[in-house]
Each structure stands twice: as structure tokens, then as C-alpha cells.
Amino acid sequence: MLQAIDRGQPDATTVTLFDGVPTAAVGRIVLAERTVGLKGVNGLQASRPLSLTAAGDAGAFPEGAEFLLFVGDMARARACVRLSDLLGGATRPLNITCAGGQVLRLVLLVPSMGTHAIGHLKVTLGIA
């Protein structure tokens, strides 16, 4: 279930996972990969992702595009979210905990639907 964006959560912090134009137009595109507990650009100083949000031009992505969020086990997504929902202004609440050393990977899954140029995308993760 999706809910409206609530920017008034005092305990939540946001981390930008991706801000740019994805490198490919179709298929599975890895947008971000962070290690929980690691400092620096490849790290994520959080143990509890709370929400996922995205901003961009909804018309720049084909129908059916979605995010897959993996934590620890890269064979099974912990969350699957339609991109159109997030670009429509919704926030996807998450109920995920992470242990130190686990890898968090954000993948954009773009279906093959003719020639479709994709646009700029900014994805943020609300964390506690």
C-alpha cells in the first residue's frame, strides 16, 4: 500500500540513492549499491530503511517500469515498487531491517517496449 509523502517525520533522515539518468534504456539497471554500516559514498549508515521515494518525469519511462530493492540476498527482492506510483507523488513505506555488512541494491527494471528514451531520476531512501 502506498501513502502520501509525509515530510514531517522528525525521526527520519533521507539518503539519495540515485540522482541522474540511468545508463541503459531497457532491462535490469543497477542504480545503487550500498553496504550497511560502511562510511563514505558506498556506505549506508542505517539499519532500518523506512520509505522509498522518487522524482522525475513520469512520461520519460515506459509503463511497467519498477524498482526492485534487495537487502542481503541478491536473489530475492525485499520490495518491488511500480515507478509510476512513486513518480505520481507517492511514498512506498518499507518494513525492512538490515544488519551491518549487508548490501542494499536498488535496481530499475525497465520492460522492453520499443525505442523509449528514459529521463532523469532521483531516488531517495528514508532511514532511521
**Sheet of 3-4, strand order:** 3-4, 90-93, 49-56, 121-127, 13-20
What average pLDDT does this structure show over 54-61?
88
Question: For the chain, what is the domain count?
Answer: 1
pTM (2 d.p.): 0.83
Alpha-helical regions (H) of the chain: 83-87
In a domain, 72, yes or no: yes
pLDDT confidence band for 3 (50 / 70 / 90): very low
Q: In the chain, what percentage of residues exceed pLDDT 90? A: 41
Is residue 60's pLDDT more than 50?
A: yes
**Are 93 and 9 spatial neighbours (Cβ–Cβ below 8 Å)?**
no
Q: Has residue 3 been placed in a domain?
A: no
What is the pLDDT, as a whole number, of residue 116? 65
Does residue 5 lie in a domain region? no
Enclosing domain of residue 95: 16-127
Note whether residue 49 is domain-resident. yes
Q: Look at residue 112 and tell me if it is in a domain.
A: yes
